[in-house]
């Protein structure tokens, strides 16, 4: 990515992603490998958007590996309060939050998963209230930026520099930065997603039926479910939680998922790569896993009681730019936008039309899932058909052979 593309990307993320306003603070969470992008974001925040303070929180995943290998158990479970003091301060300042996502495939190989879970459970339980407050009150976004370990995983036969350059070029394409007017291209794309979202909400489906190679699954939806597209509103501001975004999504009924589903793309969790597998659900819960890596999957979905249930159902057509590039990116932010997917774990309260006093009340009243994890896994391919069933029993094709049915085009 040359300097011009880098600046263009930074402006796009600040404008479309978090919709940064004059005098508004910005929090950037980023790995140290993304320093060039963070510098471009900081420059454009101050120079072009006339922002307030830019707060940067750096992460080094290698340090996490060192801690998982050598730190005492009590250290892994010790979460310093200053972390939350800083979040509280920036929330009080009404900051926008931007996370830069890179992948480090295989980094957590040969690490005791129980130690990783111990640390993440300790952090997750304390972080959840802040995450929910950010999701409810702040503007936030996640955008991808390449690094060499990630690029080498995607392009293993290339030299480091060539692999990194190719991944940068893919990001340029995926983010529509190669369009003559990227902002206009994004506007057109978001309008198309919005049309799909509105139509899905008009149908008020009671359940969805998924059928494809290795998949025969029924997914019931909460009575007050709402389909959500890429754009969200905070007051008068429109922002994009994920960049890229190709999905329209909602929450399933926690206990309403039954049948079997085939995962169609590798799953990258905490640096551990799991090859495609299949699962069987009964009353919403995973009851059987068919995989040579079953133990790894079981450890992931044993973090808490909600981890074995689904929290998201998302629709993405096979024509998505990411899918058309024909690569596995080993990064959920990108790979989930290639095909239809579900997510283990937490459901988003925005997926139901309910103004409960708090998240727990909304979750319980609508029977949607609650968990400390939210892990997307892909189930879409060219064989997937999805039919929506209305309250009166009418069957409406939603997807046919991996893409939107004619009534949705």
What backbone torsions phi and psi does residue 309 show, to the nearest 5 degrees? -110, 165
Check if the beta carbon of residue 339 is closer than 8 Å to that of residue 323. yes
Return the closest-CA partner of residue 371 out of 336, 346, 395.
346
One digit per residue, the tens of pLDDT, for the chain of length 409 reads 888 999 999 999 999 999 999 999 999 999 999 999 999 999 999 999 999 999 999 999 999 999 999 999 999 999 999 999 999 999 999 999 999 999 898 888 888 888 988 898 899 889 989 988 998 899 999 999 999 999 999 999 999 999 999 999 999 999 999 999 999 999 999 999 999 999 999 999 999 999 999 999 999 999 999 999 988 888 889 999 999 999 999 999 999 999 999 999 888 776 567 899 999 999 999 999 999 999 989 988 988 899 999 999 999 999 999 999 988 888 888 988 999 999 999 998 889 998 776 788 888 899 999 998 899 999 999 999 999 999 999 999 999 999 999 988 7
Q: Dihedral through CA 134, CA 27, CA 375, CA 272, nearest 10?
A: -160
- At 165, which helix (H) or strand (E)? helix 160-174
Show the 3-state SS of 54-102. Answer: EEEEEECHHHHHHHHHHCCHHHHCCCCCHHHHHHHHHHHCCCEEEEEEC
- State how far Cα 168 lies from the chain centre: 20
For residue 217, the cross-strand partners are 210, 259
Collapsing DSSP to helix, strand or coil, 356 comes out as: coil
Please tell me the distance from the alpha carbon of residue 300 to that of residue 284, in angstroms, as a whole number: 17
Q: Per-domain residue ranges for the chain?
A: 3-174, 201-408
Strand arrangement, sheet containing 215-220 = 285-290, 278-282, 257-262, 215-220, 207-212, 385-389, 395-400, 403-404
Find the DSSP H helices in 182-317.
182-203, 294-300
Check if the beta carbon of residue 232 is closer than 8 Å to that of residue 140. no
Q: How many CB atoms lie within 10 A of CB 381?
A: 20
CATH assignment of 3-174, given 3.30.420.10, 3.40.190.10, 3.30.360.10, 3.40.1830.10?
A: 3.40.1830.10
**Token pair in block for residue 167:** 């991944």
Return the closest-CA partner of residue 341 out of 405, 228, 250.
250
Give 8's DSSP letter. H
- pTM (two decimals): 0.86
Collapsing DSSP to helix, strand or coil, 43 comes out as: helix
Please tell me the distance from the alpha carbon of residue 237 to that of residue 137, in angstroms, as a whole number: 12
């Amino acid at each position: 990515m040359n300097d011009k593309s880098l600046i263009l990307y930074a402006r796009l993320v600040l404008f479309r992603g978090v919709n940064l306003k004059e005098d508004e603070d910005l929090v950037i969470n980023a790995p140290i490998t993304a320093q060039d992008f963070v510098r471009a974001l900081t420059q454009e925040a101050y120079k072009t958007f006339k922002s307030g303070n830019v707060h940067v929180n750096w992460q080094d995943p290698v340090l996490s590996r060192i801690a998982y290998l050598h730190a005492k158990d009590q250290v892994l479970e010790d979460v310093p309060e200053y972390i939350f003091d800083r979040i509280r301060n920036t929330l009080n300042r009404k900051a926008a939050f931007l996370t830069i996502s890179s992948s480090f495939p295989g980094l957590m190989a040969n690490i005791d998963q129980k130690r990783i879970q111990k640390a993440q459970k300790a952090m997750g339980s304390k972080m959840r209230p802040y995450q929910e407050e950010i999701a409810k009150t702040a503007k936030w976004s996640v955008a991808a930026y390449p690094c060499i370990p990630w690029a080498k995983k995607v392009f293993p036969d290339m030299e480091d520099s060539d692999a990194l350059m190719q991944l940068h070029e893919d990001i340029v394409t995926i983010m529509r930065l190669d369009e003559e007017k990227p902002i206009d291209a994004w506007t057109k794309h978001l309008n198309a997603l919005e049309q799909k979202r509105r139509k899905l909400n008009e149908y008020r489906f009671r359940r969805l039926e998924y059928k494809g190679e290795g998949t025969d699954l029924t997914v019931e939806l909460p009575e007050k479910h709402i389909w959500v597209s890429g754009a969200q509103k905070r007051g008068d501001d429109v922002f994009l939680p994920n960049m890229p975004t190709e999905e329209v999504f909602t929450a399933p009924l926690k206990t309403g998922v039954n049948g079997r589903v085939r995962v169609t793309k590798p799953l990258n969790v905490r640096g551990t790569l799991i090859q495609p597998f299949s699962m069987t659900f009964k009353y919403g819960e995973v009851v059987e896993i068919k995989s040579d890596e079953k133990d790894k999957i079981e450890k992931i979905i044993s973090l808490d009681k909600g981890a074995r249930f689904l929290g998201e159902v998302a629709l993405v057509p096979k024509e998505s730019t990411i899918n058309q590039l024909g690569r596995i990116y080993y990064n959920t932010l990108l790979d989930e936008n290639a095909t239809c997917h579900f997510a283990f774990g937490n459901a988003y309260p925005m997926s139901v039309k309910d103004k409960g006093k708090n998240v727990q009340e909304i979750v319980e009243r609508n029977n949607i899932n609650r968990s400390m994890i939210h892990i997307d896994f892909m189930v879409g391919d060219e064989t997937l058909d999805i039919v929506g069933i209305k309250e009166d029993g009418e069957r409406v094709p939603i997807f046919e052979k991996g893409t939107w049915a004619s009534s949705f085009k």
